[in-house]
Structures are given as C-alpha cells and as structure tokens.
Amino acid sequence: MKYRIFSPKISLSYTLSAAFGLLFCTLFTPFLSAQGTELSAGQTVDKVIPFFGIVHYRNARPVYSQFGGIISQLFVQGGQQVDAGQSLVKIERLEIGFSTIEMKNEIPDGVVSRVNVREGHHIEPYDPIMVVADASEYIIKLNVSQVDLNKLQPIGKAEVVFAPNSSQPFSKSGQVHAIHEPNQGKFGLYEIEILVDCSSDCVDVVKSGSIAKVLMSPKTPVQVTATVKDQSSKTRQLN
C-alpha cells in the first residue's frame, strides 16, 4: 500500500482550519442524521453501522445429465431468466438406439447463473452443463470483527443497499440469517449472512457477485443531550 507523505511546511492558518474541521466532524457528524423531528434531552435515536458484503444466490443448482453425449442445442445463455418447465439444453446420446435428451428448468423465477458448454461440446455423465439459480432470494455475506459484532444486535433486521456506488442504488430490508464462527480462531472474522427476499420487486435489479452495503443497528441507541436550530424547522438535534 502506498502512503502519501505531506510536507511539514504548512501554514498556521491551514493547520488551525484543519483542526477545527476535524473537531467539528468528530463532535457533530453523528448528530446530523437526527434531523427531521425535534428530540428533547434524554430521548434516544438509533444509529446504523455500515458494512459491505458480496451478494450470492441462496439456492443454485447445477444442471447435469446422467448420460454422456453431444450438446446438440442450447436454448439459454448466461444471465437469462427462465421459468419452470422452460427448455435448457438438448443432448444427443451416443449410444445406438437412444434418442436425444431435452433438459428443462425446475426452478420458478430462475436465472441461468453460468453456462459451461457450447453446442457440439462432448460431455461425460454428470458433467456440470450449467447452473440455474433461484432469483427470488439472495444471501449477502459480510465479514465482521469481534469488536463490531459486540456492538450489533445478535439477531435482527438489516437494511441492504444494492449497487451502492451507482446512480440508482436500490434499498431492501433483510434479515440476519446466520452468523458463522471464524475459521481462524477468536482473532478471525465472523461471517454474517443477510437474507433478502426479492420475489416481489427486485428480481431484475439484484446481481449475484455484486457488492452491497449493509446497515445494521447497534445494541445501544444514542442518547440526545441537547437541541439547536437547523435550517428548516429552526431546530437541529444534537446527541
């Protein structure tokens, strides 16, 4: 990793401005999210801790044949959405006296995650021809340290932001599905799985392998100790 080294010849005014800016951000940035509703001293407001994870299909099934042969026709391609009963591939068996095999999709709301063969390709029995996944449910896997895990609610909901760096991010509520112990002992990272149901409104939006931002609430909410004026309602809440 490369580090940028700054010259020590910095003016006093610049140093004071930077110090004041750092102090302001440190003291007041956590409180700006409490805008909108006036809170009196002693009330609490929940904050969230952001994490980033990788999106995975929850259920993905390999497509294979128990017989060898030649791929005579592919009906789908990678990334294509498929319905239950839709034809996927036709295989020409090499044994004399046997006809072709046409394999069909068995997963509702399916998507072809990967295609491993081309037309004319020779396959052996149980070779993985393609992978079809269920596009209605996704798992977001993220690694969390012991320190951060202690701050979070053990089991609960999370807000997942898909395509967080794009011009059109998409937010969806998720549920903590599992927490796995670290493989490297107590100093390793815990793997948290967030389950998101996309059966109604995000089948076409979410992509497996992409990065998602996950917002989870800490155990202890922030206590409000004062209020000040803001631009809209003339009051801004400070914790």
Sequence ranges of the chain with CATH classification 2.40.50.100: 59-134
Predicted confidence band of residue 184 (pLDDT cuts 50, 70, 90): low
Sheet strands (E) in 46-120 = 49-57, 60-63, 69-74, 81-82, 87-92, 101-104, 110-115
Average pLDDT over residues 201-230: 69
Other beta carbons within 10 angstroms of residue 96's beta carbon come to: 5
Average pLDDT score over residue span 19-38: 37
Least confident of 8-22, 35-49, 73-87: 8-22
| For the chain, percent of residues with pLDDT exceeding 90 | 40
Amino acid identity at 108: P
Closest CA to 134 of 193, 58, 208: 58
Considering only residues 50 and 227, tell me which one the structure prediction assigns the higher pLDDT. Answer: 50
Residue 119: its pLDDT value, please?
95
DSSP string, 205-216: T--TT-EEEEEE
Tell me the torsion sign for CA atoms 190, 179, 111, 160: negative
Q: Do the beta carbons of residue 233 and residue 73 sit within 8 Å?
A: no
**Res. 41: pLDDT tops 70:** no
Is the per-residue pLDDT at 45 higher than 60?
A: no
136 CB-near residues (< 8 Å, 6+ apart): 108, 109, 197, 198, 199, 203
Mean pLDDT is lowest, of 9-23, 66-80, 96-110, for: 9-23
Evaluate whether 220 touches 51 at the Cβ level (below 8 Å).
no
Q: For domain 59-134, is the CATH number 3.40.190.10?
A: no
The C-alpha R_g of the chain, in whole angstroms, comes to 26
pLDDT tens per residue, range 101-145:
999 999 988 999 999 999 999 999 999 999 999 988 999 999 988
User: Could you tell me the pLDDT band of residue 73, with boundaries at 50, 70 and 90?
Assistant: very high
Global model pTM greater than 0.75: no
Q: Which residues pair with 130 in a beta bridge?
A: 63, 115
Better-scored residue on pLDDT, 184 or 145: 145
End-to-end CA distance of the chain: 37
